[in-house]
Structure 1
Amino acid sequence: MKKVLILSFGMFALGFDAYIVAGIIPGISETYHKDVSQVGLAVSIFTLFYALSAPVFASLFAGKSVKKILLYSMLVFTIANIITAIAPTFTILLVSRAIAGAAAGLFSPLAISAASELVSIEKKGRAIGLTLGGMSIGIVLGVPLGLYVFDMLSWQASIWLLVLIGVVAMFGILVYLPSIETPTPPALFERLKMFLDKKVTVTVCITFFASISSLGLYTYLSPLIKEFTGTGNLMMYLWAWGFGGLFGSLIIGYLIDYFKKPKTLVTIILLILTLSITCIPLMINLPLLRYLPFFVWGAMGWASQAPQQHILMSYQPNNGSSAVALNSSLNYLGSSVGATLGGGVLAFGFGAISLIYFAVISMVFSILLQFYSVKSLN
């Protein structure tokens, strides 16, 4: 599992990058004189290019050295963040976010697939959970630290901190990761057959709608908290969400290995996730309890990914890398769609409370598909 920790640290950098922007939106808005809904494009474009690049790269680089691909993708990711930090215009910033997203789309699914190859069969669930846990740790530790740097210095300083993390991740991959190869790519017909498999399609659509709700809502956490509480202080809410994500990511692998019923776990997770989002406006002004919905939201949102990856690998045992890439793609595509729709909601003046309603509607679609999967796709 020590080698898996190297991959987990790389995911730490991705988690930091994907979620810090939601916290520094006010600073970016002020620098480039853009409103919040426009700055939300920085999140949308990152996640969109992540979604588009993941399945393409999974097939394009199959059969190549995992170590080299992970190293080069982290290098591009780090360079892109350097450009973000020094971007003279908002357009260049968006371009840099697109490049960073594409590099993350290459790194993430390959890291998850590699983690499962580095351990024995009975530890695969834990390995996937630990790798995904690196991303949630990037939120628990990285995002609050980045926000602190933002408050003390500037949003650009937060990005420079991310650059430093990327450099450390590259060093770890270069020195400690063993040389393994990705699986040989299947024939084109076999790849198309996987994408048209009803079981795979329904599973990734469940991920898609849950992501629209969970990650899309997270993007606009700043205006949401400000509308509900009258304060722009996000720190405690981000801590609650991030610690929930860490808890969910680390515990879910053990639950998968122990109960061996990932579909049942996904059903429970989706129901609790919906309940937690619904409870935000009801509990946010209650002492102590105000943070509970955010903790549960983070825990369930992050816990949902590992069993979904596990389910897809069982559907496509000979094409696990592409299946994982497809799920990661739909996860971040959902985030991009959620962030874009959320920006539209705010731009039309509906208010941040409307984001909760849209999130719940999206979760209903996800739950209905999950019930169909449990009942008809066993």
Structure 2
Amino acid sequence: MRLVLLLALGTFALGLDAYVTAGLLPAMADDLGTSVSATGQTVTAFTLAYALVSPLCATLLSAARQRAGLLVSLAVFAVANAGSALAPSLTVLLVTRAVAGVGAGLYLALAASCATTLVSAERRGRALAMIMGGMSSGTVLGVPVGVLLARHAGWRATLCLVAVLGVLSFVGLAARLPRLLGDGAAAPSLRGRLSVLADGRVASVVTVSFLAAVGSLGLYTYLAPVMESEAMGGVHGITPYLWAWGVGGVLGSVLIGPLVDRFRRPYTLVVGVLAVLCCALAAFRLTASVAPLLALAPLAVWGAAGWALQVPQQHELTTTRNTSGGASGGTGGRASGGTGGGTVAVALNESALYLGSAVGSGLGGVAFGLGWDPSALPLYAAGFALLGLLTQLTWVRTATRRARPTLAAQDSGDTEDAPKRR
């Protein structure tokens, strides 16, 4: 688990970068001379590049080059953030945010997939929770600090901080990560990797992640202007609300791991988490309209459910390694699936997560441009989360039932191989 902790250091920097922009939009818009809705498209650029490029890179990456992939992706991420901090215009900022999204997307997909190969089958949930915990910790600890730093030194200083954290993570991984993390794993063919895309089980899980992200992450992008609306209390200092969302996210991503390992039923956990997310988003709108401080509770629950959702989702997808990524059987087949199909499936899920965020933030920008009431956005977000729940209860349920015989055989094989894992 020490190596998993090392991987989580990198996701901490990613978590800060991915979500701190939500609290910086007004300051960025004023500095660049643009509107909040136009500046919000920097989030869209980051998430869209993340969503489109990371599965492609994961598909082409050789299993024996995961260490190089991790380091290169983290270096690209750090350099792009430095460029964002120096951007003289919105156009340049959009480009650098897109490049940062490419680096972040590949790194997180590799980190999540590698984490599951470094531990035994019964500890995969905890390993994935640590990776997601790094992301959520970067949000709860870094985002409020980044917003405070921006108030005193400007938003560019906050992005400089992200770049520094990326460099520190790169140095740590370069020094301690094994030379060949995927050594001994036969690289599956491109055709074998691409077969993951046609797996109905993968497609259904990824669709749920997308719909949940449209509502949850898309709304978070515009948390500041939403809270500033009169119907939500006219709040201008959103730091306590960012903390509430972030603390909930850390607790949710950490506590869900042991539950996944204990009950081994990701489908049921996802149903429960999605139901909680729907209720939290609706309650956020209702409580804020009564008294803004009352909204802190549903905000925390919203953050917890949003972050917790991805742990059982990733756990579900890593079980496709033998059936989608490498069906060759034996030790070689298992290894290739773990680093081939498993990585591609996780990359697709992360892409769906960020594509959903991009779509959500894009729709939010359109809503602002049309002059819609910002206080209505939480209700629309709850609607997308509800669509995700309905998809889970129909399409995912059917695909999971069809896959049960294969999953049972895989779990048996993983138990036999567990002592061989580091």
TM-score using structure 1 length:
0.97
Q: Establish whether residue 82 from structure 1 lines up as the match of residue 82 from structure 2.
A: yes
Partners of 2:186 and 2:37 lie apart in 1 by 43
SS at match of 1:349: coil
Query: 1:64: Cα distance to partner?
Result: 3.4
One-letter amino acid of the structure 1 residue matched with residue 197 of structure 2: F
How many matched pairs? 378
Q: Which moved more, 1:333-342 or 1:179-188?
A: 179-188
User: Using a 3 Å threshold, how does the CA distance of structure 1 residues 72 and 29 change in structure 2: closer, same or farther?
Assistant: same
Quote the residue 1:247 is aligned against: 251
Partners of 2:235 and 2:292 within 8 A in 1: no
Partners of 1:22 and 1:220 within 8 A in 2: yes
Partners of 2:233 and 2:292 within 8 A in 1: no
RMSD: 1.4
Quote the residue 1:195 is aligned against: 197
Partners of 1:66 and 1:179 within 8 A in 2: no
User: Using a 3 Å threshold, how does the CA distance of structure 1 residues 218 and 372 change in structure 2: closer, same or farther?
Assistant: same
Query: 1:288: Cα distance to partner?
Result: 5.2
Larger CA Rg, structure 1 vs 2: 2
Query: 1:145: Cα distance to partner?
Result: 0.7
Deviations 1:142-200 (A, max 9, x none): 10110110111100111111111111101110112223344544334333432122211
Partners of 2:207 and 2:84 lie apart in 1 by 32
Quote the residue 1:170 is aligned against: 170
SS at match of 2:319: helix
Deviations 1:292-332 (A, max 9, x none): 11100000000000101111122343221111011111111
Q: Establish whether residue 310 from structure 1 lines up as the match of residue 315 from structure 2.
A: yes
SS at match of 1:233: coil
Quote the residue 2:134 is aligned against: 134
User: Using a 3 Å threshold, how does the CA distance of structure 1 residues 29 and 92 change in structure 2: closer, same or farther?
Assistant: same
One-letter amino acid of the structure 2 residue matched with residue 2 of structure 1: R
Partners of 1:233 and 1:349 lie apart in 2 by 23
Structure 2 residue aligned with 1:334, among 356, 360, 363? 356
- Percent sequence identity is 42
One-letter amino acid of the structure 2 residue matched with residue 294 of structure 1: L
Partners of 1:230 and 1:360 lie apart in 2 by 21
Q: Establish whether residue 221 from structure 1 lines up as the match of residue 223 from structure 2.
A: yes
Partners of 1:281 and 1:301 lie apart in 2 by 17
Partners of 1:345 and 1:354 within 8 A in 2: no
Runs (5+) with no aligned partner, structure 1: none
Quote the residue 2:236 is aligned against: 232
Partners of 2:362 and 2:141 lie apart in 1 by 27
Query: 1:62: Cα distance to partner?
Result: 2.4
SS at match of 2:64: coil
SS at match of 1:64: helix
Quote the residue 1:300 is aligned against: 305
Runs (5+) with no aligned partner, structure 2: 323-336, 402-422
Partners of 2:47 and 2:54 lie apart in 1 by 11
Deviations 1:214-258 (A, max 9, x none): 000000001111111212111011000000110011111100001
Partners of 2:211 and 2:387 within 8 A in 1: yes
One-letter amino acid of the structure 2 residue matched with residue 190 of structure 1: G
Quote the residue 1:282 is aligned against: 286
